[in-house]
Amino acid sequence: MQTSISRQSVYARQGMVATSQPLAAQAGLFVLREGGNAVDAAIATAAALTVVEPTSNGIGSDLFALVWDSGELHGLNASGRSPALLNMAALPGGQMPTHGWLPVTIPGTPRGWADLHARFGRLPFAQVLAPAIRYAREGYPLSPVLADGWRRGIAAHRRRQGPEFEAWLDTFAPAGFGAGVGEIWASEAHARTLERIARSHAEDFYEGELAAQMDAHARATGGLLRAEDLAPHQSEWVRPIGAAYQGHTAWEIPPNGQGIAALIALGILDGLELPAHRDDEYGLHLQIEAMKLGFADAKRYVADPQHVDVPVQALLDPTYAAARRALIGEQALDPEPGDPHSPGTVYLATADGDGQMVSLIQSNYMGFGSGVVVPGTGIALQNRGHNFNLEPEHPNVLAPGKRPYHTIIPGFLTRPDGTPAGPFGVMGGFMQPQGHVQVVLNTVRYGMDPQQALDAPRWQWTGGRVVEVEHELGAALSRALQARGHQIKVELNPSAFGRGQIIWRDPHTGVLSGGSESRADGQVAAF
């Protein structure tokens, strides 16, 4: 198998930040140097990413995080619920549109930042958000991958009609701005909104002037989001779920996120003897088949656990994994969900010198999200409601006050003795659990360092027997997979396969090693 590594892993001891945009990584590193911990750095990086990578996330995003602190892994689900007025009757023709107000759910990111800080932060909240505010107010030059996504976003947005979309152009495509590489973009409105969030610990976003502005814009342009939806919103601290692979344990946030798909696949693979070399077509076949089964179950059962009983433990039970494993044969299968009751995103990782580590992901979904921006605020709203199911009997069916199936998932890996290896993640819609599985296998089974594990050629199952592969996988492997019944499509756009980061900590020396893959502008910043 060919590889095209253009970066090397970074090594350091005092602190590390890895994310998809170099300026955001520098914001996190600045906070670490100012005496902040890994959580402070993660919040600083996340807030900066709403400014320096708005093509993938914004203040109106959702957020999930895993925090290793004092020998324990903590999970935060900061995803939002659907507005009280959003139901099946509100959908035109019974279909959920991709953009506009209807797929907008309550943004959870600002509350998520505040909750992480309240529990684990060290520096003042306003100091942590200061780098992001400075980037927004003073502006910054666009990097190459960012500029490409921005230009595509502008082209797509110009095709949309309606008053709800007008503020988007004012914010992200002002007169004279063409989103060229090195071109400067700034947003005073974005800076003022971040200042309000900083001063109020996000309360202004949910119960103050910012909430009133979101309510007013929705009422004026046909949206269903109301101040009454925003005021009661809370994040949820959750117990992470895990699955073993070769003695290590991969950890994810439980549903409504799709991380369980990766865990189901890893549980299946743990009982299979993968070939010793990663460039073996039979090993790739087994990985693809396990992932297909994991997805089939996730798409059948993942929903908001506050509304339905999601059978998490049953889906992760070794007996169930064995039954699913038995379905894998020599040829590609068409996956169907099992019965466990029977016999787009930005990702970042941080670490400090005291052992605290964070795996955090936030996203608007589908690039710039819904395309709705609240005038005068820089708040670009997500379109997470697009992932509701519209079948009446499905657990993830659209309903008021409900969290949808969520694609964004932070990952964390622990060693056989329970010590932390560290945070990892791969962005990119339904690529994310597939990226998690491949990163874990590259690390645990094939002994790759962080940069190698991220840059190795990827595959992605997209439905039925269709598997997209990067051209670096090579013609011989692609033909061999095709002979096993997989419908292979070579995808030349590297962004289709996600963009990830890793930070591992050596259990003996405390040395940090990190990678930020070459498919993005990203950087590992360390000292």
83 contacts: CB under 8 Å, gap ≥ 6: 104, 105, 106, 224, 225, 226, 229, 400
Q: Distance between CA atoms of 324 and 266, rounded to whole angstroms?
A: 12
Half-sphere exposure of 272 (CA within 13 A, CB side): 26
Q: Distance between CA atoms of 448 and 428, rounded to whole angstroms?
A: 22
304 contacts: CB under 8 Å, gap ≥ 6: 81, 255, 256, 396, 402, 403, 404
402 contacts: CB under 8 Å, gap ≥ 6: 81, 82, 304, 306, 307, 388
Here the tokens at position 431 are 């690529």
Residue 180 in contact with residue 133, Cβ under 8 Å? no
Q: Distance between CA atoms of 107 and 520, rounded to whole angstroms?
A: 25
Q: Distance between CA atoms of 422 and 428, rounded to whole angstroms?
A: 20
Known active-site residue 443: no
Residue 2 in contact with residue 310, Cβ under 8 Å? no
Here the tokens at position 526 are 């360390």
**Residue type at 481 in one-letter notation:** L
Here the tokens at position 389 are 């199911």
* Catalytic residue of the set 345, 377, 407, 443: 345
Beta strands in 147-227 (DSSP E): 184-185
Q: Distance between CA atoms of 201 and 1, rounded to whole angstroms?
A: 49
Q: Distance between CA atoms of 513 and 258, rounded to whole angstroms?
A: 27
DSSP reduced 3-state for 313:
helix
DSSP string for 341-368: T----EEEEEEETTS-EEEEEEE-STTT
**Residue type at 21 in one-letter notation:** Q
User: What amino acid positions are annotated as catalytic residues?
Assistant: 345
